[in-house]
Structure formats: structure tokens, C-alpha cells
Structure 1
């Protein structure tokens, strides 16, 4: 489904991503892991069209989408859940959800899709008319994921979904991610909690200083001495 080939990203004189190659097959969960500043979020931004690529390309379903506008990439079935959730705190849960589907769904389909999200995230039904800023961190993360799912994406990009959440809520969010894959959604997951990411991922790529340091199946990486020493505390 997704191929990233020789991706380079610069911010002025700073080369944030030196070279990234990765592949995400349909129906997979692929984890992109590494330390802070490794280039993970920049890579997601380039895939979503939010960050320009200095070199390389992003190929979606066989078509080169490098440099296309974010809304064009979104219409091709890609949705991003950004780091820090970035919900609209002054808008209600219902309004946040409708904004997620506004560009993609005709009005008659909007309510039906919203109901699907409220069934998937029952806590959001309880707070349907409450402002997003009044939700807890975990509830806001669920709202951010539901908002992205409103567009009926085929590929969802998740950037640090565990960030700032209590351990019990993290488990709930990751159970949800695994369930989304079982329902046919393809997932590219950026996550600093490497152990947790490898538990649910099919494959993983480790970034270090903007480059691929290691790639393989999640099981292979979980038993790698390099990964165990650097990221799993072994």
C-alpha cells in the first residue's frame, strides 16, 4: 500500500531525515520507533503532505504522491492523528467529529458515520455535546482517533498515541489500535514506547539520527540485542 523511498527532509540547514525507506502492506501494523529527534514525526508529516520532502518519494497504491497537498492525500485514504492530539478544544465532541468527515462525506452519510464512531468509542457518546477541552487526556486521544476515522481512511498514521496517558488508558488505546487492524485498517504507528509498539506491530523500523538503523518483523526486533539494550531496558 505505502512505500517510502529515500526520503530526506530538511528544515533550513538542518537535515532532520537523512534517508528513510519503509514499506507498509495492506492490513499491517508497522511501527516506526526510535529516540526523540530521530525523524519519526517528520516522516509521518511527509507522508501526509504536511512536510515537504527534500529528496525521495512517497508512493501510495503505486502512485507517487510526493508533494501533493494534504487534502489530496487525505482524499486518497490517508488520515493522520498528530502528536499531542490537537483536537479543537473550544468545539464539542460532535463538532470535532463532523469536522473530521466534512471534506470526505456527503451530508446524508455524516450522521451514520458519526454513530459508528460513537459505537466504537462509547465514552464519546457520553460527552457528545461537551467541549473537547473538558475531556481527559485519554478521552481526547480517543476523540482524535475517532475524528481521523470519520474520513473512512484505508491508512491511518498515529503519532505517539501513548504520550501523556496513564498506563491503564494506554492499554485501552493500544487494544483499540489492534482492533482497528482486525477490522481491515492499515496502521503506521510512531511510538516511543518501543516494547508496547512491538507487541501489536507486524513489522517495525528503527530510526536513529534520521536514518534506518534496523528493520524487520516485530518479533525479530524484540529479540535483537541492539533494540533490547537501547530501547527495552535489557
Structure 2
């Protein structure tokens, strides 16, 4: 579904991503792990067109999307739930959801899609008229993911979905990711909680200093000395 080959991103003279290769298949969860500053969010932003690449190729569903504008990539079936949720705090939950599908469907179809998502996100149903900024962090994260799903993506890029959440809400978010994969969605997951990410992922890659240091099945990475010592706290 998604193939990135040798992608590079620069911030001025600084090369933030140095020839990253990764892929995500149909109905697959792939985790991208690494320390802060390794380039994980930069990679996601480059894949969905928010940052320009200076080298490499990005293919999505068999089409070369390298250099495409973010809105065109979004309409092709890729959606990003960014780090920090970034909901529109002064708008209601319902308004946030409607904006999520505004470029992809007419109002009638968006209303139908919204109803489908409220079955998947029951916590949002009783909050529809509430301003998003007044919700808890966990509720905002659910809204951010639901807003991304309003465009009916084939591939969801999730950037640190558990960041700042209480343990109980973290479990709910990861249960949701598993449910979305079972429903047929492909997911590229950037996640600080490496243990949980490897529990639900099919494959994973370790990003260090802007380059892929290690890739393999989630089981292989969970047993890797590099991952156990650097990210799982096992010595």
C-alpha cells in the first residue's frame, strides 16, 4: 500500500531524514519507534505532503505521490492524526468532525459517516455540542482520530496517540487501533510507549538520527537487545 524509498528531508542545512525506507501493507499496523528527535514526526509529515522531500520516492496504492500537495494526498486515501491532537478548541465536537470530511464528501455523506463513527467512538456522542477545548486529553485524542477517519482513509498515520494520556485512556486508544486494523484499515504508528506499540504491531522499524537502524517483525524487535536496552528498559 505505502512504499517510501530513500526519502530525505532537510530543515535548512540540517538533514533531518537521511534516506528512510519503509512500507505498510494492506490491513497492517507498522510501528515507527525511536528517541525524541530521531525524525519520526518528520517522516510522517513528509509522507503526507506536509514537508517537502529533497530525495527519494513515495508510492501510495501504486501511484507515485512524491511532491503531491497535502490535500491531494489526503483525497487519495491517506490521513494524519498529528501529535498533540490539535483539535479546534473553540469549535464543537460535531463541527470538528464535519471539518474532517469537508474536502471529501457532501454534507449528507458526512452526516452518515459521522453517525458511523459515533458507534465506534461512543464517548463522543454525548459531547457533540461541547467545545472540543473543554474535553479531557483522552476525549480530544478520540476526537482527533475520529476527525481523521471522516475522510474514509485507507491508511492512517498516527503520531504519538498515547502522549499525555492517563493509563486507562491509553488502553482504550490501543484497543481502538486494534479494532481499526480488524476493520481493514492500514496504520503507520509513531508511539513513545514502545512496549504497547510492539504488542499490537505486525512490523516495526527503529529510527535513529534520521535513518532506519533496525527493521523486522514486532516480535523480532521486541527481543532485540538494541530495542530492549534503549526503549524497553531491559538490561
Q: With structure 1 as the length reference, what TM-score do the two structures score?
A: 0.99
Aligned residues: 234
Does 1:144 pair with 2:166? no
How far apart, CA to CA, are the structure 2 residues paired with 1:36 and 1:107? 40
Does 1:50 pair with 2:46? no
Please give the secondary structure, in 1, of the residue aligned with 2:6: strand
Runs of 4+ with deviation above 4 angstroms: none
Residue 34 of structure 2 corresponds to 34
1:165, distance to aligned residue in structure 2 (A): 0.4
Residue 14 of structure 2 corresponds to 14
After alignment, is 82-91 or 62-71 more displaced?
62-71
1:197, distance to aligned residue in structure 2 (A): 0.4
How far apart, CA to CA, are the structure 1 residues paired with 2:112 and 2:227? 44
How far apart, CA to CA, are the structure 1 residues paired with 2:219 and 2:20? 21
Please give the secondary structure, in 1, of the residue aligned with 2:215: strand
Q: With structure 2 as the length reference, what TM-score do the two structures score?
A: 0.99
1:107, distance to aligned residue in structure 2 (A): 2.0
| 1:170-181 equivalences in 2 (<5 Å) | 170-181=170-181
Unaligned stretches of 5+ residues in structure 1: none
Tell me the alpha carbon deviations over residues 41-67 of structure 1, each in whole angstroms, 9 at most, x when there is no partner: 001001110000011111101211011
Residue 24 of structure 1 corresponds to 24
Residue 183 of structure 1 corresponds to 183
How far apart, CA to CA, are the structure 1 residues paired with 2:161 and 2:110? 25
How far apart, CA to CA, are the structure 2 residues paired with 1:25 and 1:122? 29
How far apart, CA to CA, are the structure 2 residues paired with 1:125 and 1:90? 18
How far apart, CA to CA, are the structure 1 residues paired with 2:37 and 2:4? 19
Report the RMSD for the aligned CA atoms in angstroms.
Answer: 0.6
Unaligned stretches of 5+ residues in structure 2: none
